[in-house]
Amino acid sequence: MGICKPIVGELTADEMLTALPLCTQELAFAEEIYALTKGLELPLKSKLRTFSPFLDETGQLRVGGSILQAPVDYSTKHPILLPADQLATRRILWYYHTRKLHIKSERLLTELRTRYWIITGRDVVKSVVNPCWPCKRRSSKPVPPLMASLPVHRLTPYRPPFTYTGVDYFGSLTVRIGGRGCRHEKRWVCLFTCLTTRAVHIEVSDGLSLEEFMLCFT
């Protein structure tokens, strides 16, 4: 337990990432470390039995396996085991999450597994990333406003169509006037829509004045 002394604040980031796993493993996996040190079999109730753990030259618990010949780093082949219920594990997760510019849960888990293997890691990663306010702001979506109740004219059938009508304009559109002295002029489109059947009628307007609208309406 010598590594678990109150000098953590004096360590650099790299030294912290080395010291915290040692201290955390001593607290969470004391029985497993003792069994491996004495050459004994792991306890039957141990969560690490499926990982074939071993102690490296620094005394850290690492994942065993059958990829010794893989062309990857030693830490990727044998990541450091970390418990899920320790504050130090969450601190390491938060450090990687902020250093990698607040990456999402699955990407963070992939980055971590090149060096650490956390028991039930996906759940722990989500518990750290989900409350992150910068991530919440970045992934938030606008909430559409609730539509008001439709008026009775939109819901009651009337005969003939266009008994109740909505009017709108769109444009302007530039049109080409043929004949002698070809020229271009602006035109607008007056759109009439039946509020009940949603049928649409279109008229071309030469302008936006009341007189031009009355011509379209007529």
| Residue ending a domain, choose from 95, 113, 139 | 139
Could you tell me the CA-to-CA distances from 33 to 16, 19, 40 in Å, in that order? 21, 16, 10
The per-residue pLDDT for 2 is 44
**Domain of residue 55, CATH code:** 1.10.340.70
The per-residue pLDDT for 176 is 81
The per-residue pLDDT for 125 is 92
Residue 165: inside a domain, yes or no? yes
Residues 103 and 171 in one domain: no
Residue 36: inside a domain, yes or no? yes
User: Three-class SS of residue 164?
Assistant: coil
The per-residue pLDDT for 13 is 66
Residues 128 and 85 in one domain: yes
Query: Pairing relation of β-strands 183-194 and 165-177?
Result: antiparallel
Residues 188 and 156 in one domain: yes
Residues 87 and 117 in one domain: yes
Instruction: Provide the residue range defining the domain that includes 29.
Output: 8-139
Residues 111 and 164 in one domain: no
Distance CA 188, CA 202 (A): 10
Residue 24: inside a domain, yes or no? yes
**Both tokens assigned to 38:** 């004495």
Backbone dihedral region for residue 178 (phi beyond 0: left; psi -120 to 50: alpha; all else: beta): beta
List the pLDDT tens digit at each of the 218 positions of the chain: 444 544 445 556 666 777 788 888 888 898 989 999 988 888 888 888 888 899 988 888 999 888 888 888 888 889 999 998 888 888 889 988 998 888 889 999 998 888 899 998 899 999 989 999 998 888 888 888 888 888 887 777 777 888 888 888 987 888 888 767 678 888 899 999 888 888 899 888 888 888 888 888 88
Cβ atoms 111, 98 nearer than 8 A: no
Residues 133 and 45 in one domain: yes
**Both tokens assigned to 149:** 């109740």
Residues 132 and 161 in one domain: no
| Residue ending a domain, choose from 74, 107, 139 | 139
Residue 147: inside a domain, yes or no? no
Residue 84: inside a domain, yes or no? yes
Query: How many Å separate Cα 163 from the centre of its chain?
Result: 49
**Both tokens assigned to 15:** 């030294």
Number of helices (H) and strands (E), helices first, in the chain?
9, 7
CB atoms under 10 Å from CB of 99, counted, come to 11
φ/ψ of 76, rounded to 5, equals: -75, -40
User: Three-class SS of residue 177?
Assistant: strand
Residues 26 and 65 in one domain: yes
- How many domains does the chain divide into? 2
Cβ atoms 194, 164 nearer than 8 A: yes
| Residue ending a domain, choose from 112, 139, 166 | 139
Residue 145: inside a domain, yes or no? no
CB atoms under 10 Å from CB of 101, counted, come to 7
